[in-house]
């Protein structure tokens, strides 16, 4: 079972810029789940205490940073109009009648829009000292 670092209530509390509609219900649950996998990807080499059963972080600072990063990603998707699949960013022009497709402007070395953790999400993790190479208070205990 995939770990999800934020709830729909946390997403609502995190908020979005005026005019940005956050997903609700099943769409919010899906977006939070996918955003949590991007947080996992960003924290691949991070060390922090976890619950042995759920795998969720046990430290309140770490848990809050991961929830905020997850919410920031969902807000970024909602604000940009890009969904969590990244499919929308793959095509610049699309037509159905007489089928016309135009490849997007993303180069092969760049991830498709929406498939990498947004800058605010990375900042939330960096401020908590969770990203490799950041200087901060250690989040692990021995």
pLDDT in tens, 1-45: 689 999 999 999 999 999 999 999 999 999 999 999 999 999 988
Q: 3-state DSSP call for residue 101?
A: strand
Band of residue 70 on the pLDDT scale cut at 50, 70, 90: very high
Question: Does the structure show a pLDDT above 80 at 134?
Answer: no
Domain ranges across the chain:
8-127
Interval 49-70 mean pLDDT: 96
Question: Does the structure show a pLDDT above 70 at 78?
Answer: yes
Tell me what pLDDT residue 82 has.
82
For residue 39 the two structure tokens come to 């947080």
Question: Does the structure show a pLDDT above 80 at 54?
Answer: yes
Tell me what pLDDT residue 137 has.
56
Q: Which residue, 58, 77, 76, is CA-closest to 66?
A: 58
Phi, psi of 114, rounded to the nearest 5 degrees: 90, 0
For residue 21 the two structure tokens come to 């509609």
Helix axes 25-42, 119-127, angle to 10 degrees: 60
**Ranges 15-29, 68-82, 124-138: which has the least confidence:** 124-138
- What is each CA distance from 131 to 65, 82, 128, in whole angstroms? 11, 25, 8
- What is each CA distance from 58 to 9, 53, 55, 83, in whole angstroms? 19, 11, 9, 30
């Amino acid at each position: 079972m995939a770990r999800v670092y934020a709830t729909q209530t946390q997403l609502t509390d995190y908020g979005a810029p005026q005019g940005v509609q956050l997903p609700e219900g099943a769409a919010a649950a899906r977006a939070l789940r996918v955003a949590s996998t991007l947080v996992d990807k960003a924290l691949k080499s991070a060390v922090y205490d976890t619950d042995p059963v759920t795998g969720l972080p046990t430290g309140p600072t770490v848990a809050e940073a991961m929830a905020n990063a997850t919410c920031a990603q969902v807000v970024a998707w909602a604000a940009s109009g890009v969904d969590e699949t990244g499919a929308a960013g793959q095509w610049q022009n699309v037509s159905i009648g007489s089928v016309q497709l135009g490849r997007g402007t993303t180069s092969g070395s760049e991830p498709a829009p929406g498939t990498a953790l947004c800058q605010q999400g990375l900042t939330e993790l960096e401020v908590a000292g969770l990203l490799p190479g950041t200087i901060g208070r250690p989040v692990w205990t021995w």
